[in-house]
Amino acid sequence: MAARGHARFVFPRDLVWYLAFGMAAATVATLFVFSRRHEHPKEFRAEDNPPRVLQVVWPILFLGPLTYPFLMVVAPALAYETVLTLDIPLAEVLQAGGLGLWAVGGVLVLWARRALGRFMTIQIVVASDHELITIGPYARIRHPAYAGAIFLTTGVAFVFLNVVLLAAAILVVVVANYRARKEERLLASPEGFGSQYRQYMARTGRFLPSLRGA
């Protein structure tokens, strides 16, 4: 870990400030896109929601790390090159890769939002008029929104090399996998899409494209 102001391997603080400013601006733009309202389904034929506490924890886990660039912009000395910053060999490679992961994650989330439309919800449900979406990223990946969340939070953690953000990213992977499994069981059930969804699962990957579907 780096003592404040004595990092050896990580990006300099001034450079990270500019990166954080760009990330914060992109986050604001993304939130603006998500603020456009869709008329979500109001009637459901099946649901399998996690316990209430996990319903609350999930958006906090996912969205919380995405606020870190804002902290970096307003208080760089508190956010970077502190005792919580990993100062390790090849740190700059991780930081550059993290920026790429973060960008890919943002694109995936927005693309999933566009493809899923009004069926995108934090609840694990099957609407009465639900359609199996297999366009856009869903043509190759069953859960592009969760994949995007994983890439975003992991990317932020790598850019700032903060141990708290890295722990949060690990939790996002765990919870996203838990939620994805629940969704798959529900959608593959008779109340969901049954064999149609099982066939879809056979040709797609959970978070990454499946080689079988190539």
Listed in sequence order, the DSSP H helices in 82-143 are 91-116
Domains in the chain, please, with CATH?
104-121+132-214 (1.20.120.1630)
What single letter denotes the amino acid at residue 8? Answer: R
The span from the CA of 30 to the CA of 78, in Å, is: 26
What is the model's pLDDT at position 213? Answer: 54
What is the model's pLDDT at position 30? Answer: 87
3 state DSSP class of 206: coil
What is the model's pLDDT at position 6? Answer: 47
181: phi then psi, degrees, rounded to nearest 5: -65, -40
Per the DSSP assignment, residues forming a β-bridge with 162 are 85
| Token representation of residue 172 | 């996002």
Per the DSSP assignment, residues forming a β-bridge with 16 are none
What single letter denotes the amino acid at residue 23? Answer: M
Q: Is the dihedral of CA 61, 170, 31, 11 positive or negative?
A: positive
Q: How far is CA 95 from CA 99, 135, 145, 148, 204, in A?
A: 6, 32, 23, 18, 30
pTM: 0.91
What is the model's pLDDT at position 7? Answer: 52
Helices 52-63 + 163-187 axis angle, to 10? 130
| pLDDT, one tens digit for every residue, the chain (214 residues) | 444 444 577 899 999 999 999 999 999 998 887 777 667 777 888 888 889 898 899 999 999 999 999 999 999 999 999 999 998 889 999 999 999 999 999 999 999 999 998 888 888 999 988 999 999 999 999 999 999 999 999 999 999 999 999 999 999 999 999 999 999 999 999 999 999 999 999 999 999 998 765 5
DSSP 132: -
What is the model's pLDDT at position 4? Answer: 47
What is the model's pLDDT at position 139? Answer: 95
